[in-house]
Homo-oligomer: A and B are copies of this chain.
Amino acid sequence: MKRAEKQPHDSARFDLPPDEVRRIGYLAADAIASHRESLTSRPVFGKVGTAAGLFSGPAPEEGVPFEETLAFVREHILPFPMGNSHPRFYGFINATADPVGVAADGLAAAMNPNCWGGDHAAVHVEKQVIGWLASAVGFPLEAEGILVSGGSMANFTALAAARRAQTPGNVREDGLGGPDRPRLTVYASDQVHACVDKAVDLLGIGTAQLRKLPADEKFRIRLEDLESVVARDRAAGFTPAIVIGNAGTVNTGAVDPLDALADFCARERLWFHVDGAYGAMAVLSPRLAPLFSGMARADSIAADPHKWLYVPYEAGATLVREPGRLGNTFRRFPEYLASDAESPFPGPAWFAERGVELSRGFKALKVWMGWKTHGRRGYAASIENDVRLARFLSDAVDGRPEFERLADTVLSIVNFRYRPAGRSLPDADLDAVNRRIVNRLVGDGSFFLAPTVLKGRTALRVCIVNFRTREKDLLALLDEAARIGEEISSASAG
Whether A193 sits at the interface, judged by CB under 8 Å, is yes
Does B208 lie within 8 Å of A375, measured CB to CB?
A: no
A124-B55, A377-B9 known; A149 vs B357 contact (CB < 8 Å): yes
Inter-chain CA distance A124–B371, complex, in Å, is 33
A125 in contact with B55 given A33-B22, A177-B177, A373-B65 (CB within 8 Å): yes
A289 interface residue, CB < 8 Å from B?
no
| Cβ contacts under 8 Å, A334 to chain B | 193-194, 250
Q: Is the CB of A21 within 8 A of B33?
A: yes
CA distance A52 to B127 in the complex (A): 11
Is there an interface contact between A359 and B175, defined as CB atoms closer than 8 Å? no
Interface pair A439/B312, CB less than 8 Å apart: no
Identity of the chain B residue whose Cβ is nearest the Cβ of A10 in the assembled complex: B381
B107 touches A345 (CB 8 A): no
Q: A136–B61 Cα gap in the complex (Å)?
A: 11
Q: A332 and B194: CB pair below 8 A?
A: yes
| B112 x A382 contact (CB < 8 A) | no
A111 and B198 form a contact (CB under 8 A):
no
- A359 and B15 within 8 A (CB): no
Query: Which residues of B are found within 8 Å of A171, using beta-carbon distances?
Result: 201, 204, 206
Give the distance in Å from the alpha carbon of A20 to the alpha carbon of B99 in the complex: 9
> A435, B358: Cβ atoms under 8 Å?
no
Please tell me if A279 contacts chain B, counting CB pairs below 8 Å: no
A250 touches B176 (CB 8 A): no
**Chain A, 443-473, contact with B by CB distance < 8 Å: what is the 0/1 string?**
1000000111100000001000001100000
Counting chain B CB atoms within 10 Å of each CB, which of A65, A136, A194, A344 scores highest?
Answer: A344
Tell me how far the C-beta of A360 lies from the nearest C-beta in chain B, rounded to whole angstroms.
7
A105 within 8 A of B: yes
- Per the 8 Å Cβ criterion, residues 13-53 of A in contact with B are 13-16, 18-22, 24-37, 45-49, 52
A404 contacts chain B at the CB level, 8 A cutoff: no
- Distance between Cα atoms of A374 and B435 in the complex (Å): 45
Among A76-84, A266-274, A317-325, A479-487, the one that faces the other chain is A76-84
* A160 at the B interface (CB under 8 A): yes
User: In the bound complex, do residue A30 and residue B22 qualify as a contact, i.e. CB atoms below 8 Å apart?
Assistant: yes
Contact B101–A59 (Cβ < 8 Å): no
Contact of A52 among B348, B361, B365 (CB under 8 A): B348
* Residues of chain B contacted by A59 (CB below 8 angstroms): 131-132, 135-136, 371, 376
Which one of B14, B36, B132, B316 lies within 8 Å of A374 (CB-CB)?
Answer: B14
Interface residues of A in 306-338 (CB under 8 A from B): 306, 310, 312-314, 316, 330, 332-338
Contact of A342 with B by CB under 8 A: yes
Nearest-CB distance from A351 to chain B (Å)? 12
B-side contacts of A61, CB under 8 Å: 375-377
Question: Given A32-B21, A33-B19: A56 and B128 within 8 A (CB)?
Answer: yes
Q: How far is the CA of A18 from the CA of B97 in the complex (A)?
A: 14
A189 within 8 A of B: no
Are A344's CB and B443's CB within 8 A? yes
Residue of B nearest to A129 (CB): B59
Verify B177–A205 contact, CB threshold 8 A: yes
Q: Which residues of B contact A439 (CB under 8 A)?
A: 340, 342-344
Q: Is A32's CB under 8 angstroms from B110's CB?
A: yes
Which of B7, B15, B60, B73 interacts with A468 by CB under 8 Å? B15
A156 on interface, CB distance cutoff 8 Å: yes
A208 → chain B closest CB, angstroms: 5
Partner of A110, one of B97, B152, B357: B97
A391 within 8 A of B: no
Known contacts A29-B22, A361-B312: does B109 contact A101 (CB below 8 Å)?
yes
Query: Do A373 and B205 contact each other (CB < 8 Å), given the known contacts A106-B106, A361-B314?
Result: no
- The answer to whether B15 and A82 have CB atoms under 8 Å apart is no
**Of the 9-residue stretches A114-122, A254-262, A295-303, which lies at the interface with chain B?**
A114-122
- Whether A62 lies near B377 (C-beta < 8 A) is yes
**Complex Cα spacing A179 to B137, Å:** 40
Q: Is the C-beta of A410 less than 8 angstroms from some C-beta in chain B?
A: no
- Lowest 6 CB-CB distances: which A-B pairs, in order? A204-B204, A175-B206, A25-B29, A313-B361, A106-B106, A344-B443
The 13 listed contacts between A and B (C-beta, < 8 Å) are A15-B467, A21-B102, A25-B103, A45-B118, A62-B375, A76-B121, A78-B111, A96-B112, A97-B109, A110-B312, A251-B335, A314-B361, A343-B439
